[in-house]
Amino acid sequence: MNVPVEPRVLDFPDGAMRYDAVSLQDPGPFLFDPASAGLAAVPVSQGGRQAAWFVQGEFGQGVLRRYRRGGLIAKVSVDRYVWRGADSTRSFAEFELLRFMYDSGLPVPRPLAAAYWRQGLTYRAAILVQRIAGVQPLASMLDTGRTAVVAMAIFAMHEAGVWHADLNAYNILLDGQGKTWLIDFDKGYRQVLSAERRHVNLLRLRRSLLKVAGGRGLEWWEQLARDYRLLAEAKAHI
């Protein structure tokens, strides 16, 4: 468990940001602009929809991500969402979910700041989180990654009542010590998760592993599912 820290809010002319005042002493919209000289931004090569950067600053190493749409709807609007209030923005919602998970001791990056920019009935958004050092995506670690360790991280997330909206082979990271980290909780939420809902989440990962590694990915997922089931059975007998 980490010591909870209440975030602060900074308003600016066309929006606002919510931030961790322990990590950020000098907050401002510049934190979400990859062109800011002080951030030394470098584009993330894998994932991110060309809208994520590795950055650095007073907070140390971070990952900046702008929210972008995918699929057919992106042809209508690439980065604008319907305004339903500040707490409902993609950035603030993800920031608060990450804050809950981080404070609970779950293996997620520390949320540093989140922002939105409103224009009429729509808004754009971005989030800044701590960068986890020395990690690689599960997609490239199937030969060395341990299914039991990954299963334990996912099980702990589910036990905390967190649904991951895009549990795939690139949103699960492994570090040099073999620890599993979970990232990208956009559209995630908290609720009591039934066994069926948990399995649906795992099936999303199955599709991803099958896509990136074919039969090897499917074999890896089947072992992970067995490890997950053992954890659930052990919990049921406590």
CB atoms inside a 10 Å sphere around CB 54: 17
Q: What is the mean pLDDT of residues 212-228?
A: 97
| pLDDT at position 47 | 53
Q: Give the residue from 130, 158, 173 where a domain finishes.
A: 130
Q: Do 14 and 61 sit in the same domain of this protein?
A: yes
Q: Give the model confidence (pLDDT) of 162-218 as tens digits.
A: 999 999 999 999 998 989 999 999 999 999 999 999 999 999 999 999 999 999 999
Q: Do 147 and 224 sit in the same domain of this protein?
A: yes
Q: Do 19 and 118 sit in the same domain of this protein?
A: yes
Q: Do 153 and 218 sit in the same domain of this protein?
A: yes
Q: Do 146 and 112 sit in the same domain of this protein?
A: no
Q: Please count the structural domains in the chain.
A: 2
- The answer, yes or no, to whether residue 158 has pLDDT greater than 90, is yes
In terms of Cβ atoms closer than 10 Å to its own Cβ (0-12, 13-18, 19+), residue 45 is exposed
Q: Is residue 229 part of a domain?
A: yes
| pLDDT at position 55 | 97
Q: Do 113 and 203 sit in the same domain of this protein?
A: no
Distance CA 119, CA 124 (A): 8
Active-site residue flag, 166: yes
The one catalytic residue among 11, 87, 143, 166: 166
Q: Is residue 2 part of a domain?
A: no
Q: Give the model confidence (pLDDT) of 22-36 as tens digits.
A: 999 999 999 999 999
Q: Is residue 87 part of a domain?
A: yes
Residue 163: domain span: 136-236
